[in-house]
Chains A and B, each alone.
Chain A
Amino acid sequence: MRKIALTVLVMVLVALASGAALAQAPIESELVLITPVSKFIHDAALKAFADYARERYGVTVKTSGLPAGTPVAYGRIVEWKGKPEADIFWGGESALFEKLADQRLLQKLELSRELWDSIPPAIGKPKPIHLKDKDGYWVGTALEPYGLVYHPRRIQRLGVPEPKDWDDLLNPKLKGEVAQCAPTRSSSSNATYEVILSMYGEDKGWEWLRKLAANTGHFTARSRDVPTVVAKGEYAAGFAVPSYMAFEEKLAGFDLKFVAPRNAFVTPEPMAILAGARNPRAARAFIEFLLTERGQMVFMERGLFPITPKYKVQGSPGSTAELAVQFTGGLRSYFDTEVSNVYDEGIAAKRSEALKIRFRSEIEAVWKKP
């Protein structure tokens, strides 16, 4: 009788233990991102993570990314009302992440202390660029300048010197040759408009932007189209292009050049876990992975810069990492240099509505294809 009781006990214990083990499977086997960060980056990141998860946790994670422009992604998250179809929101302005956190649509990251501390709170002068949220709702993943791109052969044919600074885009010979995306539709464009306004002041800034519009031959529907049309040679130069998008075109075999001029906006590509996410543990594992050297490598090989001073873009001669360094003007880490930044998050947030309205009335409504 005792024997039987013992057996039962053992069995119950085993069952409990295995139940607990099940409940504590390290991470879920699915992960969905919603992100404006292009496929080029997010696919690579997901793929690297899937490999990592298999090695580290022995879990095969089915990953997928929902590509969506920043506003769309934001809008969908709001529409989901806490029952999200994705686990992670990645990319866009950090201000949006704060807005989401205010609406309780994000959950705290709760990363390990060591990992969290490895990321400096901010870089840049005179205005700081925050690299992580003081309340712990989001964290930066990589640094990425929004610069300008040009097609060297087209530029040469037009008899224009290769652009180095923002003002070079106003060259009258570039009339109709600039492509940009409306700041109402693109966060990179919006940020760069903000940079121009901060640099030149409100009135001069708008005058500058109107001149740029006069040189603009094409307002693309989305920011991603800007490097595409320039790479192909449809237009000679593009405004407000994230470095990696330009680099992606370069890797695709196009002859395209990138410059991050003075005060170019640098984004930390924030990442957050959505409140109510179905796969919170996989989401956290993904973020932790991205902040490791292996994770950062994904970015560094694709024209982005590390989010921590611990790593530098580096590789064997001829590697894509080295190609990226060359492509972005020799920079290996934003922590090696003084980052000049005039973009003020507070002002930008306050001005964002007015900026859009003014763009609509002063540029979009009157713009005529040259």
Chain B
Amino acid sequence: MTNTGGGLGAPPRTALPALGVAAIWLFLLVFLVYPLARIFYDAVTDEAGRLTVAHFVEFARDRFYQRSLVNSLLLGLGTVAATSALGFAIAFLLVRYEFVGRNLFSYLTLIPIISPPLVGVLGFTFIMGRAGTVNVLLMDWFDLVRPINFVYGVHGVLLVETLHLFPMITLNVVDALAKIDPALEEAAESVGARGWRKLRTITLPLTTPGYAAGALLVFIWTFSDFATPLVLGVHDLLAAQAYLNIVQFVDRRLFRMGIVISALMVVLALGFLIAARQYVAIKDYSSLAYSRVARRRLSGLRQALVVVFLSLVMLASFVPYLGVALASVGRGWSLTPFPVQYTLHYFERVIVETPKYILNSFLYSALAVAIGIAVGVPIAWLLARTRIPGRDTLDGLNTLILAIPGTAIGIAYVRAFHFDLPGLDRGLTSFWIILPLVLAIRRLPYTVRGSYASLLLVHRSLEEAAASVGATGVRSFRDVTLPLVWRGVLVGALFSFMTSLQEASAVLFLSLGGWETMTVGIFSFYIAGSANEAAALGVILILVAALSVVVINRVAGARMGGMFG
């Protein structure tokens, strides 16, 4: 008898596979389950370690927190609504219509995603702020005394998040639209549905699964983003409150409240995740179309309108980049539409004086990717190829990661790995390796999904063929499967790498002197009042991210949609 698939299906020839599975579980238990359990434990105990629900009672009674909860939910839903409208319209235009520059636009829609935390919103304020370019021009032209408030406030957060996140919807909907069998729409036409009616009752519902994945991501992102609201002066949101309460360690009561809010956010995000999954699970329409709906060529006027619309959206979502770019070279820029003095000083400072940020970012992200591959590819393989017990839990844990707000996992690590390691009189939090570890956990789903998707494409019979000539599970994986799926793994890895470079929330609490990454550097420059240096570092980060997107596109052919959800 030959070993056909590894896993538990066949008697393991050695203990190696079982050990590997155990190692994966151990990794997940130690670096995911335990820290999360720890913040839940913190949330329901007091300083003396006694069980209590007092924190939740306090939260529920506090009017400010109530408002924060409501605002967070509303903002999340509002952003989902706004990104959906925008993301959908753009996806629909890109997939269904032919117009000038369509290809270019489909590339450009990816760009807003790579805006790093904090820098994007800073860039926004430079252009759209009360003293931003737009207001300065308005004040000059119309002699306004008071600037118009475009960004400070919840509406600003909504605007910034929407312009940042709509591509997540676009990517997922483009993918979903492409999978719809055109006959489904023609069937609707044949019985009399057309235009909006057809769109609303047939096309939109058919994109639900892909769309729901994107929408969930948008929701969780907005829900857990604290940098944007804080820069825009909005504090009555859960993420902002969690962050603000945690960073002020002095008041232990507030500190614990920060943890309680983080735990609550995890619970809420989990709730939305489960709801979305349930919803999607009953609506799997992937009918794998044989053909695509033909792109309709638009009339001249309509084409012009579409191009104008898309250009405006792109322009708006490029505002942050423009702002950041100008701020990184503009000296003393105030109340003029554009900087009057230009300097490379800020770049010199960040490049010459703080190359460690850049080095650290690359080191941690690369390590995180390596850990992610080491753990994620085997997980993907277990999910795709075996019926190993606990497989569903593994899948669930992997998806769960997507729902955990970065600050929550950051603080969970601080709380969980603070104790002294045996043999060393310091905790894991005193070693920089904790940063790649937290990044690896945060990005694990991308690697798993990337590899899983390509594993599904590699037909099992190929592995069976290898087995039939005597290759064992591990060997057939190495010799047959891996060469076939490397592309998926690579895309997942690159995507993890790019997003690890961008990660701020999880590493912010864990960073110590000498360990700062670029994003932490951006934060500390910003905190230190050097918005220009922050911008310069931001520009570098954006360039690196843009480069990774290009590479990913080359490798994957623009199919990043499948990475999410």
Contact = CB atoms under 8 A, between A and B. Distances in A.
A and B assemble together: yes
B532 A72 contact: no
B84 to A, nearest CB: 27
Nearest to A228: B529
A64 B513 contact: yes
Interface stretch (A20-28, A48-56, A76-84): A76-84
Interface in A178-210: 182, 184-185
A40 B430 CA distance: 27
Contacts of B332: 252-255
A233 B132 CA distance: 9
Given A233-B335, A364-B235, A221 B248 contact: no
Interface stretch (B123-131, B398-406, B471-479): B123-131
Contact of B255 (A75, A233, A360): A75
A227 interface: yes
Interface string B127-151: 0011100000001000001100100
Given A66-B512, A233-B131, A234-B125, A369 B152 contact: yes
Contacts, number: 125
A74 B255 CA distance: 13
A134 interface: no
A218 B152 contact: yes
A79 B334 CA distance: 41
Nearest to A72: B247
A224 B528 contact: yes
A252 B532 contact: yes
B249 A234 contact: no
A249 B529 contact: yes
B559 interface: no
B418 interface: yes
Contact of B233 (A39, A96, A220, A249): A220
B233 A254 contact: no
A157 B145 contact: yes
Interface in A331-370: 356, 360, 364-365, 369
B286 interface: no
B34 interface: no
A217 B531 CA distance: 20
Contacts of B129: 232, 234
Interface in B417-432: 418, 425-426, 430
A2 to B, nearest CB: 49
B249 A71 contact: yes
Contacts of B341: 253
Contacts of A224: 527-529
A66 B524 CA distance: 9
B172 to A, nearest CB: 32
Nearest to A67: B524
A245 B249 contact: no
Contacts of B351: none
B529 A248 contact: yes
Most chain A beta-carbon neighbours within 10 Å: one of B231, B332, B532 = B332
Given A69-B247, A184-B248, A185-B244, A219 B529 contact: no
A272 B160 CA distance: 42
Contacts of B64: 360, 364-365
Interface residues of B, number: 46
Most chain A beta-carbon neighbours within 10 Å: one of B235, B249, B425, B430 = B249
A245 B529 contact: yes
A16 B501 CA distance: 50
Nearest to A252: B332
Most chain A beta-carbon neighbours within 10 Å: one of B247, B333, B528 = B528
A265 interface: no
A111 interface: no
A233 B247 contact: no
Contact of A222 (B149, B527, B531): B527
Nearest to A356: B251
A13 interface: no
Nearest to A369: B153
Contacts of A233: 130-131, 334-335
Interface string B99-133: 00000000000000000000000000110011100
Contacts of B255: 75
A17 interface: no
A71 B152 contact: no
B485 to A, nearest CB: 42
B334 A85 contact: no
Contacts of A39: 524-525, 528-530
A237 to B, nearest CB: 13
B230 interface: yes
A228 B531 CA distance: 8
Nearest to A251: B332
B331 interface: yes
Contacts of B146: 158, 176
Contacts of B418: 79
A278 to B, nearest CB: 11
Nearest to A86: B513
B469 interface: no
Interface in A255-269: 255
B557 interface: no
Given A40-B529, A157-B145, A227-B529, 17 more contacts: A39-B528, A67-B528, A71-B248, A72-B247, A78-B249, A83-B426, A154-B335, A185-B248, A217-B130, A217-B233, A228-B529, A228-B531, A234-B130, A248-B529, A253-B331, A356-B251, A365-B64
Closest 10 CB pairs of A and B: A75-B249, A253-B332, A233-B131, A39-B528, A71-B248, A221-B230, A71-B250, A218-B233, A233-B335, A64-B513
Interface of A: 32, 38-40, 64-67, 69, 71-72, 74-76, 78-79, 83, 85-86, 96, 151, 153-154, 157-159, 176, 182, 184-185, 217-222, 224-225, 227-228, 231-235, 245, 248-249, 252-255, 356, 360, 364-365, 369
Interface of B: 63-64, 125-126, 129-131, 139, 145-146, 149, 152-153, 230-231, 233, 235, 240, 244, 247-251, 255, 331-335, 341, 418, 425-426, 430, 512-514, 524-525, 527-532
11 contacts: A38-B528, A154-B131, A185-B248, A233-B130, A234-B125, A245-B529, A253-B331, A253-B332, A254-B332, A255-B334, A369-B152
